[in-house]
Amino acid sequence: MTLPQGLSDEKLWSFHNAIKEEYPDKKQRVQWTQHLQVPQAGGPLELGSTDKLNGHMFFSGDNKRVVQVTPISFAFSQLKPYDTWAVFKAEAKRIWEKYWVIMQPISINRTSLRYINRIEIPFPVGELRDYCLLFPEFPMTMPQEVGNFFVRFESFDREIGAMGVVTLALEPIQPAVPFVVLIFDIDVGFLEGSMSSSPEETWAKFDLLRLYKNRIFHSNLTDRAKKLFA
């Protein structure tokens, strides 16, 4: 997203005031960087760090919804328990319209949806392929017992001009926890040049992204895994 140059904190706080009744709590997002400098003359190494404010987070009263704004982005998130897509989209659109009027973005560079599915698979697990078809397959000459892993895929839907980034990860097993945790992360967004020019068309395209996400979700998770969401 591109915002007008010289955007003042006054506008940002005007936006928060517009949603403050439903999103009263705020936190700052700080970017922390550590650097190591090697002197040319062979002197001692110099280790330093810097931090910079790079955004703000506004939380609903029950801490289940979060609005995040930075100089280049706007994000709306929903935590458990989840509402329907219609409820989620209506609230995100309501907040975005307030943001649009106050912050007056010049352009939108990327529109996306992200779903992070945390699947708790009870012991005994058996075959992970009974839950997720994306599970990597090892040659039979290799040991088949697997610890934690991280796999990333990119999928394209040329018809709507979108890309899906799918990340599959197994968290390390925790002592005394009767399940393993499989992370199935789906991030779908429009390719560059596929964005809409008007807010109305942009929100209509979110429905296309959701359908794309659903295809990825239902194509790769088995019925056994889906039952764990109930």
Where along the chain do its domains lie? 1-107, 109-230
Of 71-80, 122-131, 144-153, 212-221, which gets the smallest average pLDDT? 144-153
Indicate if the pLDDT at residue 85 is higher than 90: yes
Indicate if the pLDDT at residue 44 is higher than 70: no
Which pLDDT belongs to residue 175?
Answer: 81
Indicate if the pLDDT at residue 50 is higher than 60: no
Indicate if the pLDDT at residue 142 is higher than 80: no
At 53-81, the pLDDT tens digits run 568 999 999 999 999 998 888 999 999 88
| Average confidence score pLDDT of the chain | 85
Indicate if the pLDDT at residue 110 is higher than 80: yes
Indicate if the pLDDT at residue 37 is higher than 80: no
Indicate if the pLDDT at residue 147 is higher than 90: no
Which pLDDT belongs to residue 46?
Answer: 66
Q: Which DSSP string do the residues of the chain spell out, in sequence order?
A: -B--TT--HHHHHHHHHHHTTT--EEEEEEEEEEEEE--TTS---EEEEEEEEEEEEEE-TTS-EEEEEETTEEEEEEPSSP--HHHHHHHHHHHHHHHHHHH--SB----EEEEEEEEEEESS---GGGTBTTS----TTS------EEEEEEEEETTTTEEEEEEEEEPPPPTT-SEEEEEEEEEEEEPTT---SSHHHHHHHHHHHHHHHHHHHHHHB-HHHHGGG-
Q: Residue 51's pLDDT band (boundaries 50, 70, 90)? A: low
Of 95-99, 117-121, 203-207, which gets the smallest average pLDDT? 203-207
